[in-house]
Structure 1
Amino acid sequence: MHGTVQIENIQQLKERLLEFIYNELLPFENENGIDSENEISMQHIKWVRKRSKELGFYGINLPKEVGGQSLSLKGLCILKEELAKSGAALWGHVLGEIGGPLRIGQMLKIFTPDQITKYVMPVINAEAGCCFALSEPGAGSDARAIQTTAIREGDNYILHGKKHFISGAPYADWAIVLAKEIVDPASERVTAFIVEKQAEGKSGFELGKIQIPISGERSTAELIFNHCRVPSANILGQPGKGLMLGLGRINENRASWGATYLGVAQRLLDLSIDHAKQRIQFGRPIGDFQAIQHMLAEMATEIYGARCMLYDVIEKIDHGEDLRGSASMVKLYSSEVANRVADNAVQIFGGQGLMKGHPVEKMYRNVRMFRILTGTSEIQKNLIAKELLNK
């Protein structure tokens, strides 16, 4: 079982979260001119981290003994949907999605006691950020092709290489880095290391170029390792088991990202319904026209179907089932649905939906990434087919 918070408490949590979003978070963003397509200061990110921690949302899925509420994956997805639906620029920092506890919660048992004290607890307590660094210019879908190397030198390892497309990297104080450990000239293995950010007089990763995707967000960057010295005490888990560490968290991630996709899709539908009621053409609301009605009906039906799939799979994961193929189905279908919903929303809004900065235009760009991030649609189809054929 992944959580112990009962369903009636999840509803209470949802209501409390909505109060925070609409009474504090969105007003805070408006007052400070925060926009997801502009650089967001660490001061503002620290505010939302700490305020969310005070309210009990930050790291809510973590075990109670480390300050969480042992919230189930289903409960977490319900909250993620609401956050994504709100359109808040800082939504990813409320639960600790971007650079926070959600990045490491599934790996708590792997950290040593010293690592938990030095690295994990500051993240849980909203005092530090982290990221997970796997992808490289030559290793995207093919995770085994990583080229970042780690060579032992006394009681340290020397890392060389570059990671890219690393979510949360601009806000990270340390990173979990998967590197190819060179054991001897004829032997190598993938090992995970905890690597701190470079500071004055201290070795660590350098923050490379901020990589701005089609959505315009600035939460992704390169990590550069140039003779980066890491103590052997910073190996995470067992040497040579780094890829298992990365892949072991991926099914829950893929399934739970479906909640984000559906939250965005629901917001697109809600905006489209309001527009269809208010936009007057030929003397009546465009919602009176069957062409618009059919688009809305298709959007609502697909969202409903994807949501049923999401929570069916999530509940089974909560009960301990290993659903690799089904998790990929959720990621595949919900990302594709979000894209079709966004396309219909732009069509319903017409010229307004094409204007730079309009909420629908921004979400249209955002959802296009969903079919690529966390494993492309094509990779998901490969995984689903593999599960079917191996039965």
Structure 2
Amino acid sequence: MQDVQSENEESLRDKLLYFIYNELLPFERENEIDSEKEIPMEHIQWVRKRSKELGFYGISLPKELGGQLLNLKGLCVLKEELTKSGAVLWGHILGEIGGPLRIGKMLKVFSPEQREKYVMPVINAEAGCCFALSEPEAGSDAKAIQTTAVRDGDDYILQGKKHFISAAPYADWAIVIAKEIVEEGGERVTAFIVEKKLQGKSGFELGEIQVPISGERSTAELIFNHCRVPSSNILGEPGKGLLLGLSRINENRASWGATYLGVAQRLLNLSIEHAKHRVQFGRPIGEFQAIQHMLAEMATEIYAARSMLYDVIEKIDNGEDVKGASSMVKVFSSEVANRVADKAVQIFGGQGLMKGHPVEKMYRDVRMFRILTGTSEIQKNTIAKELLKK
């Protein structure tokens, strides 16, 4: 891997696997960590710190910031292994949930003072952050945001609410996209760095923990109730707030495909093992053609989605335009994960329907994939627009 001087892709993968199966999963079992229950902050802090010590936390960052400048292909290989393992804390290893990966593509936008005060604590696994764009009336239509920012001397007053904000429960500060009200009734979209409200200090309030179908408690509302923010906390240029999200959207959509495929591969692996050992009518169910066909279809679709993923990832690493292709990866890999999960439940039969069974849990997980990070329908809109432009 050309971007990693000290370790190649294979050795990084081996090092990660050793950590997952010899430290992370035993830690989760010992502390009875359940993805559908509140995870104590001390456990989040442990995994952040340990990952930082091992060099995984923010591994794609520049070397001067403690990373290894790992390219997107290498990052996706590691993400696949993490999600394939079934680890509850997988999203904290590389810093994806509230960590450095959340802000890595926006590093150049932060001022030197902002970088020192806000970015470095996140990189050093001492703080968490989140990106707040979605609102009750502004999901796919990002331009419809209603959270306002009004100038008041050297400060801005933010008023409004964000929801479905990933990593919000673990965030010490947030990048908030707001509608800035300017002179003569005009408006523009501006990004602000907003700290979490502490005693005697203005900031965002953590609203309702929004528990989705998967049961995780890592998403919440952010409430801005006459929230005072200094003008020095504007991120980037005023009026350029939406561009911050768009600057990372293609890479984000494509790389999520690695997450979806990791889950799909785990479902296939579990299904294969079950088919080998589950005996019905005097023989393993894997000997029945109906089961064989489902396994073959699952494996074929995963292979096709993985081939698409790494083809697009290579283009991104080479600086090519992949707007339509990244949406193809997102829509296809998320749909494949859903079809694989459906077949896995069928192969496991009654067991796969039982609450607490890993297949039942993943079946709920993958249903979200077709909605998160842009719905399948939004991805198809993007693909069609790119085709019609040519």
Please report the TM-score for the alignment, with normalisation by the length of structure 1: 0.99
Instruction: Report what 1:34 is aligned to.
Output: 33
Give the Cα separation in 2 of the matches to 1:111 and 1:62. Answer: 15
Instruction: Report what 1:220 is aligned to.
Output: 219
Matches within 5 A, 1:142-161: 142-161=141-160
8 Å CA contact retained: 1:3, 1:70:
no
Matches within 5 A, 1:306-385: 306-385=305-384
Give the Cα separation in 1 of the matches to 2:6 and 2:77. Answer: 11
8 Å CA contact retained: 1:259, 1:310:
yes
Runs of 4+ aligned residues of structure 1 deviating over 3 Å after TM superposition are none
Give the Cα separation in 1 of the matches to 2:177 and 2:281. Answer: 60
Summarize deviations over 1:236-286 as a string: whole Å, max 9, x none: 000000001111111100000000000000000000000000000000000
Give the Cα separation in 2 of the matches to 1:195 and 1:354. Answer: 43
Summarize deviations over 1:132-157 as a string: whole Å, max 9, x none: 00000000000000000000000000
Instruction: Report what 1:118 is aligned to.
Output: 117
* Matching residue's letter, 2:295: L
Indicate the larger mover: 370-379 or 184-193: 184-193
8 Å CA contact retained: 1:3, 1:318:
no
* Matching residue's letter, 1:15: D
Structure 1, unpaired ranges of 5+: none
Give the Cα separation in 1 of the matches to 2:65 and 2:327. Answer: 30
What's the RMSD between the two structures over aligned residues?
A: 1.1
* Matching residue's letter, 2:259: T
Give the Cα separation in 1 of the matches to 2:108 and 2:156. Answer: 23
1:213/1:234 CA distance change after superposition, 3 Å? same
Give the Cα separation in 2 of the matches to 1:153 and 1:186. Answer: 15
> What is the deviation of 1:185?
4.2
Summarize deviations over 1:163-220 as a string: whole Å, max 9, x none: 0000000000000000000002421000000000000111000000000000000000
Give the Cα separation in 2 of the matches to 1:294 and 1:185. Answer: 66
1:163/1:74 CA distance change after superposition, 3 Å? same
Matched residues, percent identical?
82
Say whether 1:285 aligns with 2:284.
Answer: yes
Instruction: Report what 1:49 is aligned to.
Output: 48
Say whether 1:192 aligns with 2:203.
Answer: no
Matches within 5 A, 1:99-138: 99-138=98-137
Give the Cα separation in 2 of the matches to 1:363 and 1:73. Answer: 25
* Matching residue's letter, 2:267: L
Give the Cα separation in 1 of the matches to 2:231 and 2:159. Answer: 16
Matches within 5 A, 1:25-104: 25-104=24-103
* Matching residue's letter, 1:107: M
Give the Cα separation in 2 of the matches to 1:180 and 1:30. Answer: 45
Matches within 5 A, 1:15-34: 15-34=14-33
1:32/1:260 CA distance change after superposition, 3 Å? same
Q: Residue 128 of structure 1: SS of its match in structure 2?
A: coil
Give the Cα separation in 2 of the matches to 1:112 and 1:95. Answer: 24
* Matching residue's letter, 1:186: G
* Matching residue's letter, 1:211: Q
Please report the TM-score for the alignment, with normalisation by the length of structure 2: 0.99
1:180/1:75 CA distance change after superposition, 3 Å? same
Give the Cα separation in 2 of the matches to 1:132 and 1:32. Answer: 29
Give the Cα separation in 2 of the matches to 1:187 and 1:10. Answer: 51
